[in-house]
Structure 1
Amino acid sequence: MPEATQDPVEEQRFVRDDWYGEEIAGRHYVRCEFRETDFSEAVTRNSVFTDCVFGNVRFNASRHVDSAFTGCTFKRCTFFDAGFSGCKLVGSSFAECELRPLRVTGGDWSFAGLAGADLRGVTFQGVRMREADLTGADCGGAVFADVDLSGATLHAVKLPRADLRGSDLSALDPLNAELAAAIVSPEQAAVLVTSLGLQVRA
């Protein structure tokens, strides 16, 4: 998992800073505040952001590798064409953010707050999202491949045309979700049918 190599920067404010294209490696920020900062095309590697606040920050085309954003708050941030690989976002929340298109590969997004998020067409692959809040999220056409969604809050989630193969759907109530044309495996179909109180027999 991510491990910073530098001493932490604590409780500092960064306002309208330009970090465009910057290589952010081995850094650690604790309870810092980033306002209207430009992280476009920046790359974070083995960096840790703990309990930080990001407001109106641009992460467009940024890449994040083996980094952590734990307990962070993102509000009105843009993640156009951003990518996260092997990152930890446990307990972080997203409000009024633009998250499309976004690609997440591996890592841990457990307890992440994505209620009401527009996640149409995004990709989560091999990600741990235990007890994540996806209440009312629009995930039309999204890919959740081999994602651990156990214990996730999926009330009123929209998953039309979404590819859900390989993911844990035990927390999904088909009666409280939009699933038109969603793609599942036979094993997942059996789980969904069982959750409806039906019995599958040969």
Structure 2
Amino acid sequence: MARRTARTTGTAGAAGGRGTTKVRGARRPELRLPPLTPHGDGGALEPDGDYDALEFREADLTGQDGAGARFMDCALTGCALDEASLPRARLLDTRLTGVRGVGTHLAEATLRDVELLDARLGGTQLHGAVLERVLVRGGKIDYLNLRRARLKDVVFESCVLVEPDFGGARLERVEFVDCALKQADLSAATLIDVDLRGAAPLELARGVDRLSGAVISPAQLLDLAPVLAAELGVRVLAD
């Protein structure tokens, strides 16, 4: 089961547009998994399957169909998730460690009290998904699709995100801690108490106009100045 912790991430300076008000920090899951039973059947998944207190270790789930499946108090360690089909799946009080794969399909899935640790993923489809109390720590995720997803109490820590797509998503109490955020798309996104100060680099491909509700550092403001000027139609010319 998960224990929730909440913290305040400090004060927002003038760059955040909120004076010295507190930044509401994300609540993190602290998982305490029960004794787990190894999953049999060669690691095969079933649509609408129900998996409780199971351990999937080094399982090859490539191309398997787990649409609508529920994972409760589970651990997936070192599993291959290439083209795994898990739309509308529910991952609850679950830890994924060292998973890898390209094209994992998790559209409209629910992730609640989940830890994703040291993952190596590409093209993961999480559009329309709901993420609540999720920690993503370590690893690298390329082309993460979170369009129209809802993220609440989500922390990206010590990981690399390459071209993540948050288009039309709602982000509330989301933190980026020692995290590389490269060419992110925030088009039509809604940001509430999003702390970007720990993102280095912080690169926005689109959606700089959606930064209202986010907190950035003075140094990041300087880095974003050319993008902000272009968005405002300001020409910057030397004398």
Aligned to 2:127: 95
- Correspondent of 2:176 among 144, 149, 162: 144
More strand by share: 2
2:202 to 162, 169, 178: 169
Match of 2:22 in 1: none
Contact 1:156 1:178 in 2 (8 A): no
The 2-side partners of 1:176 and 1:27 are apart by 43
Q: Note the 1:1-202 alignment, pairs <5 A.
A: 14-167=46-199, 168-171=201-204, 175-180=208-213, 182-197=214-229
Residues 175 and 70 of structure 1: CA distance in aligned 2, closer, same or farther (over 3 Å): closer
8 Å contact from structure 1 (residues 110, 129) kept in 2 = yes
**TM-score normalised to structure 1 length:** 0.83
Give the aligned partner of residue 9 of structure 2: none
Q: Specify every segment of 5 or more residues in structure 1 that has no aligned partner in the other structure, as ranges.
A: 1-8
- DSSP 3-state at the match of 2:46: strand
Query: CA offset at residue 172 of structure 1?
Result: 5.4
Any idea what SS the aligned residue of 2:179 has?
coil
Q: What is the percentage of aligned positions where both structures have the same residue?
A: 22
Give deviations 1:63-108, integer Å, cap 9, x for gaps: 0111124211113322111110111221110133221121111111
CA–CA separation in structure 1 for the residues paired with 2:206 and 2:58: 41
What is the total number of aligned residue pairs between the two structures? Answer: 189
- The RMSD of aligned alpha carbons is 2.2
Q: Which moved more, 1:105-114 or 1:31-40?
A: 31-40
- If you compute each CA radius of gyration, which structure gives the higher value, 1 or 2? 2
Kept after mapping to 1: 8 A contact 2:59/2:78: yes
Gap change, CA 1:137 and 1:31, over 3 Å in 2 = same
Deviations 1:140-191 (A, max 9, x none): 32101222221222222333321111312222556521323x2222211111
Q: Which amino acid aligns with 2:183?
A: G
Paired residues of 2:184 and 2:206 also in contact (CA < 8 A): no
Contact in 2 for aligned 1:160/1:178 (Cα 8 Å): no
Q: Measure how far apart 1:125 and its partner are.
A: 0.9
Residues 110-146 of structure 1, C-alpha deviations (whole Å, 9 max, x = no match): 1011011111321111221111111122113210122
Which runs of no fewer than 5 residues in structure 2 stay unpaired? 1-41
Instruction: Give the residue type in structure 2 aligned to 1:56.
Output: R
Give distance in 2, aligned partners of 1:185 and 1:102.
24
3-state SS of 2:150 partner: coil
Output the TM-score relative to the length of structure 2.
Answer: 0.71
